[in-house]
């Protein structure tokens, strides 16, 4: 249970990157260097997206939009 709570805390302290109408949960940032293979690190860190800006790689997971329908309880219960 404690490990589960620690993982939730880590989740809440990550950054969200907006790119157009898409959102990504940032996992790691790495400065670009010659021997860096972003695809290997992407696979190793279980990330589905790598973004790059100003020689910095951003390893992220895309936040998928969800379709939902709000359900309201319109019946009243006797007190």
Give the tens place of pLDDT for each residue, 15-42.
Answer: 888 888 899 999 999 998 888 888 998 9
Distances (CA, A) of 27 to 14, 16, 61, 74: 7, 9, 7, 42
- Which residues, including other chains, have CB under 8 Å from residue 40's CB and lie 6 or more apart? none
Residue 18 backbone phi and psi in degrees, to 5: -105, 130
48 pLDDT higher than 90: yes
4 pLDDT higher than 90: no
Please report the sign of the dihedral spanned by the C-alpha atoms of residue 44, residue 55, residue 30, residue 46. Answer: negative
Q: pTM for the whole thing?
A: 0.65
pLDDT at 24: 92
């Amino acid at each position: 249970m404690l490990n589960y709570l620690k993982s939730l805390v880590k989740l809440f302290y990550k950054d969200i990157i907006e790119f157009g109408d898409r959102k990504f949960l940032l996992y790691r940032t790495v400065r670009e260097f010659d021997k860096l293979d972003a695809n290997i690190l992407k696979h190793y860190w279980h990330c589905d997206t790598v973004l790059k800006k100003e020689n910095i790689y951003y390893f992220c997971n895309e936040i998928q939009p969800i379709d939902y329908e709000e359900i309201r309880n319109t019946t009243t219960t006797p007190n």
